[in-house]
Amino acid sequence: MTIAEFLAPDAWLRPDGGPRYVQLRQRLSEGVDLGLFKAGNSLPPEREIAAITELSRVTVRKAIQALAEDGIIVQRQGSGSFVSSEPPQIEQSLSRLTSFTEDMARRGMVSSSVWLERGIFMPSPDELMALALPSDASVSRIARLRIAGDKPMAIERAALSTEMLPNPLLVETSLYEVLEQSGLRPVRALQKISAINLENADAALLAVDVGKAGLRIERTSYLADGRAVEFTQSVYRGDAYNFVAELRIA
């Protein structure tokens, strides 16, 4: 398939598909995932994309800027826009309590998961403490590899009391959607972030070399009444995430 055929608007542009620049950003991103736009190569010039897609230069420019913000392309002044040879850098806010699925959807990226574990287990000492459970309690545990596009981004291992999640098999995509349906979506969380070097098992899942930099995040989420809902231990690729926090003077 040629670039002109791939970008022809009748193949992907929809009147009810949301802002046109978002649809174009998604189409260009799909082109990168499919290898039509190869790593290190330049994108067609804005005027050429505008002519093919029948969109304005302003719309094309906004779509390319959005790709640059996500790290999918690199803009070089005077040279144009080039497909990044590195995994996209995702900026994750530390001030918003959202799920991986919601984060990726907001960026126009398709997310998926590979299940590593899902069932009811005896809790570990860390899970007992974080969730304030009695020693004879059980926990629903879900562990999965989180993927954006076709790139593994993070390994999430979450534990919840069976009171909060009686059946872990109900979680198919977003854990928070399942909790929200039961009126148990958390409203605040405490997070601890540590820099690590990825060990064999996690490095293999994340498709990086052993010893590469990663981030370990432990998060305990709470309901408005103070009850702990979720204890999650996640490992993120260090080359794919930037965590951003907004600080204010008290």
Q: Quote the mean pLDDT of the chain.
A: 87
Determine the pLDDT at residue 93: 61
3-83 CATH pick, 1.10.10.10, 2.40.110.10, 3.40.50.360, 3.90.1010.10 = 1.10.10.10
CATH class of 90-244: alpha beta
| For residue 33, pLDDT beyond 90 | no
Can you give the three-state secondary structure of 132-196, one letter per residue? Answer: CCCCCCCEEEEEEEEEECCEEEEEEEEEEECCCCCCHHHCCCCHHHHHHHCCCCCCEEEEEEEEE
Widest distance between CA atoms in the chain = 66
Which helix (H) or strand (E) is 243 found in, with range?
strand 241-244
Determine the pLDDT at residue 224: 93
Note whether 157 and 232 are within 8 A (CB): yes
Determine the pLDDT at residue 190: 92
What digits encode the pLDDT tens for the residues 66-116? 888 777 888 887 778 888 766 555 656 666 666 676 666 666 667 788 999
Determine the pLDDT at residue 112: 84
Beta-carbon contacts of 26 under 8 Å, excluding residues fewer than 6 positions away, are 12, 108
Task: Give the pairing type, strands 90-93 and 241-244.
Answer: parallel
Task: Give the residue extent of every domain in the chain.
Answer: 3-83, 90-244
| Residues composing the chain | 250
